[in-house]
A and B are shown apart, each in its own frame.
Chain A
């Protein structure tokens, strides 16, 4: 068959099963809500959630904007700082020895536990949330980029040495380009973590954001709005993840179709 024929068919094969499963779950929930005798604050009918989503759209959009903003900024800082740390770790032994163990410590501390301190330091604005998103997201970027910087054929390094290549030539011509696909896969993990960090931050201290909306509405037993916020949150998660994936695809194309 022609490729044009195969494309939509493959798309259908990947999109249809999860869509049908999701619709099935919605149907069960709808039935439970209507005929199960469960109160709406426990299981809101999917139809009611959609209705709420439309009714409260401005409020949900405003909060979504804050959540997306904090997530993306935290993620961007995580990528920049993560790559810089990785370069430092790979290029300078003492830096590696001094910093790497601390990175692991920073990673194992549950980020929720740091949130209150961040508020003490940075107040109730966006800053503590951005820092939290960054803190939770940067680790996979560092680990993956270090791997990519190090996984250069030692024979190629010999060859460069035989040409008297400088350390910065090795870094910019070989190590960094080699690490790009690794950094991208680290960034894909990081973007999902940044969203988690953002919501944790919003739970702890926030004026706007979907995390705030979820806390307020669930306290009021306005479960339908909570669910509507959850839908918005999943959409943000998907869109930002796809965005990073698309960026990774662009980088792979720039590297001549190279993938890990």
Chain B
């Protein structure tokens, strides 16, 4: 299941034996060891794992913010060297500009890249509808709830028409209800825009509900534990969470993550690695 079995032209991003070491005061830390997997174009893929498994490191490398120590990340057939074009980033915190209203915040990424003109305006208008903020165009960030602010951040990440959206625990700071609502919204946005989404979460249910493929990561050192393809039918409604298949996927991911720990607590000889 190493991701090299698929058709390479079908992958928008390929991670090939990506390793990252950080030097810290206490010596070298192996943050990620030989991670390999493919992200199929137009698919929704989640990276799941406990903290210290290198999820965010992986994402930062895909965004060109960090360089792998060894191995390569190829996007659209080109090895990543610095931030690639055609990339949208959504972070755990919305990180909006407090002095700009909703439209103006969404415009930021187009301004940075230097896109302007009536086509861009039309695209932004469409996007505002897609992220469900049409009644809040002129609202300031502090007037919006956490979920709405994150919608603005998603709009901003999509404004310059990237083909790939990287999301680092975007709903982690939201309450449970808003979180579930935003999952539904994200699926809707995903199918409306046809983007490829790489989504980091530590919520197994969220990962199963959203994804075509789940990359389960293990910690210390961070590594790919398994890549699971989720064959639940689409479009998915909230009810899919109560099906037997959903429970099976959930259980499988869960046991991959907690398996180690359960064994350790059971004091089996394989506990240390």
Tell me the A residues contacting B by CB distance below 8 Å: 153, 155-156, 158-165, 169, 173-174, 177-178, 180, 255-258
With A162-B63, A164-B82, A169-B112 given, can you name 6 additional A-B contacts, CB distance below 8 Å?
A153-B93, A159-B89, A164-B83, A164-B112, A255-B98, A256-B100
Q: Smallest Cβ distance from B73 to chain A, in angstroms?
A: 14
Chain B residues contacting A153 (CB-CB under 8 Å) are 93, 95
Report whether B99 and A173 are in contact in the complex, using a CB–CB cutoff of 8 Å. no
Q: Smallest Cβ distance from A238 to chain B, in angstroms?
A: 29
Chain A residues contacting B91 (CB-CB under 8 Å) are 155, 158-159
- For B93-117 the 0/1 string (1 means CB < 8 A from A) is 1010111110000001101110000
- For B43-74 the 0/1 string (1 means CB < 8 A from A) is 00000000000000000100111000000000
In chain B, positions 142-160 with a C-beta closer than 8 Å to chain A are 142, 160
| C-alpha gap A129/B207 in the complex (Å) | 68
Report whether A158 and B89 are in contact in the complex, using a CB–CB cutoff of 8 Å. yes
Q: Smallest Cβ distance from B86 to chain A, in angstroms?
A: 11
Report whether A155 and B93 are in contact in the complex, using a CB–CB cutoff of 8 Å. yes
Report whether A159 and B83 are in contact in the complex, using a CB–CB cutoff of 8 Å. no
| C-alpha gap A256/B144 in the complex (Å) | 13
Chain B residues contacting A158 (CB-CB under 8 Å) are 60, 63, 65, 89, 91
| C-alpha gap A158/B108 in the complex (Å) | 14
- The interface residues of chain B, by DSSP majority, are classed as loop
| C-alpha gap A155/B92 in the complex (Å) | 9
Tell me the B residues contacting A by CB distance below 8 Å: 60, 63-65, 82-83, 85, 87, 89, 91-93, 95, 97-101, 108-109, 111-113, 140, 142, 160
Selected A-B contacts with CB under 8 Å, 14 pairs: A155-B91, A155-B95, A158-B89, A159-B95, A162-B87, A162-B89, A163-B83, A163-B112, A163-B113, A164-B83, A173-B111, A178-B97, A256-B98, A258-B142
Report whether A177 and B140 are in contact in the complex, using a CB–CB cutoff of 8 Å. no
Report whether B83 and A177 are in contact in the complex, using a CB–CB cutoff of 8 Å. no
Chain B residues contacting A164 (CB-CB under 8 Å) are 82-83, 85, 112-113
Report whether B83 and A162 are in contact in the complex, using a CB–CB cutoff of 8 Å. yes
Q: Smallest Cβ distance from A260 to chain B, in angstroms?
A: 10
Chain B residues contacting A161 (CB-CB under 8 Å) are 65, 83
Chain A residues contacting B87 (CB-CB under 8 Å) are 162
**Chain B residue at minimum C-beta to C-beta distance from A156:** B95
Given contacts A255-B98, A256-B99, A257-B140, contact A162 B111 (CB under 8 A): no
| C-alpha gap A214/B91 in the complex (Å) | 61
Chain B residues contacting A173 (CB-CB under 8 Å) are 97, 108, 111-112
Task: Give the interface centre of B60, B83, B101, B113 by most chain A CB atoms within 10 Å.
Answer: B83
Report whether A160 and B112 are in contact in the complex, using a CB–CB cutoff of 8 Å. yes
| C-alpha gap A153/B113 in the complex (Å) | 20
Chain A residues contacting B101 (CB-CB under 8 Å) are 256
**Chain A residue at minimum C-beta to C-beta distance from B104:** A256
Report whether B140 and A256 are in contact in the complex, using a CB–CB cutoff of 8 Å. yes
Report whether B109 and A163 are in contact in the complex, using a CB–CB cutoff of 8 Å. yes
Report whether B113 and A258 are in contact in the complex, using a CB–CB cutoff of 8 Å. no
| C-alpha gap A91/B196 in the complex (Å) | 36
Report whether A258 and B98 are in contact in the complex, using a CB–CB cutoff of 8 Å. yes
Task: Give the interface centre of B82, B108, B113, B160 by most chain A CB atoms within 10 Å.
Answer: B108
Chain A residues contacting B65 (CB-CB under 8 Å) are 158, 161-162
Q: Smallest Cβ distance from B65 to chain A, in angstroms?
A: 6
| C-alpha gap A156/B92 in the complex (Å) | 11
| C-alpha gap A55/B113 in the complex (Å) | 66
Report whether B89 and A177 are in contact in the complex, using a CB–CB cutoff of 8 Å. no
Q: Smallest Cβ distance from A90 to chain B, in angstroms?
A: 18
Q: Smallest Cβ distance from A47 to chain B, in angstroms?
A: 51
Chain A residues contacting B85 (CB-CB under 8 Å) are 164
Q: Smallest Cβ distance from B56 to chain A, in angstroms?
A: 11
Chain A residues contacting B95 (CB-CB under 8 Å) are 153, 155-156, 159
